[in-house]
Chain A
């Protein structure tokens, strides 16, 4: 569509006319002028207030409730550093012990489970104590909510064995193809012809309890043919915006969950999704 100079001039005149209309209304009506000016200045101040009020909430994924704790930055001083380091080191040891104990518990059960290792960016599929599939992740992101937890709460949360609640995916868990038995030998199926049922892009979201969401996407570019499927997936699996005022005010479900986003080759992603049971367990290592 071509836009010539006359059109632009016309458009500018229209904008000018609207502005004058608003100006006339503000001039002629004192009440509307007052409401307009007050609204204009009060709204951002109100928004700021909401942001700082919501920032005072400390996230506790176990209780599902929130406690208001005034953040204290004054106590963080240089002289406390050595105490802090010792405590952190000890906590890390305790964490490591608990994670190993969790791994042992999973290994004792005859189960397929996941080990999400944030420290070395890897995702490991384990069966009965043996690491059968190890993926070194090129891309991994963790949502801010992890940093928002108080250390004690974070420690408790990390020490959980997470249980898979539900999942959303672009691929089928079991790509079953139904075939009816033939009536006569002549109608029988030819010698096994491999079915190509795995050409779809691999994206999935795993919702674990308590409050852990793992999003996995393939590294390879997605064919635009699958745009509709991808759109449907994102609509269903959308994790609400977790930053900003709108996210805090309007999205309730999963809004405080820790989201771990990973990208890996499609083959790895598919292997892991197909392998884990519907109630899979996972441990998180930091």
Chain B
């Protein structure tokens, strides 16, 4: 038989369960959707005109609007001046691809090879990192039938003794292809004997191209032409 005491405790337990049933969903809503609730209550996405006026220093007049538009046009014109009028080259060292450009039109694109990111360590604490420089460079010189004067690392890499600066063994004929375009600091755009490696990062920092691409690049780029490498 149910005593009055037991009945009272049953009632309080029911209240507890009802409280729990309301509180838990409410708590979840607050925890998970707090920001949405506050957005709804405060209308964050609709700033008032008053607020906007307070934060605008000057009330716009027609003359001011025209002045701003004129300044935009002027700035855009200045920006356009940065785009070369003569053909230029864009090289992506990550995908090992190039685009030969005329203003904003691509006139030729294809694969190339760039720096391998290999660090060569010599015996006398010498170090060379074979990577292609990034940024804006310019064509410094153009050569047909170039001859490669091998630097010291070319011998050290092969385990050979380093010869004197003008020793005949330093001069290598034919490996650079038919043309080369100098970018400064010894970096060149040239041809390759390893055509199967085009599209891969395998060079000592130079940019290697296939024969036809190299010829087109050589013909289009002049001394002073821009080369953008990234």
Contact = CB atoms under 8 A, between A and B. Distances in A.
A97 B60 CA distance: 15
Interface stretch (A49-57, A157-165, A209-217, A231-239): A49-57
B30 A51 contact: yes
A112 interface: yes
A244 B94 contact: no
A155 B121 CA distance: 52
Contacts of A127: 135-136, 228, 230
Contact of B200 (A83, A125, A194): A194
Interface of A is mostly: helix
Interface in A25-65: 26-27, 33, 36-37, 40-41, 43-44, 47-48, 51-52, 54-56
B55 A152 contact: yes
A155 B160 contact: no
A192 B53 contact: no
Interface residues of B, number: 84
A129 B157 CA distance: 39
Contact of B20 (A40, A56, A180): A40
Contacts of A152: 52, 54-56
A249 to B, nearest CB: 10
B55 A150 contact: yes
Interface stretch (B66-74, B141-149, B163-171, B180-188): B66-74
Most central of B52, B78, B157 by chain A CB within 10 Å: B52
A225 interface: no
Interface in B14-55: 15-16, 19-20, 23, 26-27, 30-35, 37-39, 41-55
Contacts of B53: 83, 87
Contacts of A56: 42
Interface of B: 9, 12-13, 15-16, 19-20, 23, 26-27, 30-35, 37-39, 41-56, 59-60, 64-65, 68-69, 71-72, 75-76, 78-79, 81-84, 88, 90, 92-95, 116-123, 129, 131, 134-136, 156-160, 194, 197, 200-203, 226, 228, 230
Given A155-B55, A244-B34, 14 more contacts: A23-B13, A41-B19, A48-B37, A55-B38, A71-B43, A87-B59, A87-B60, A107-B82, A127-B136, A133-B92, A178-B118, A188-B158, A194-B197, A197-B117
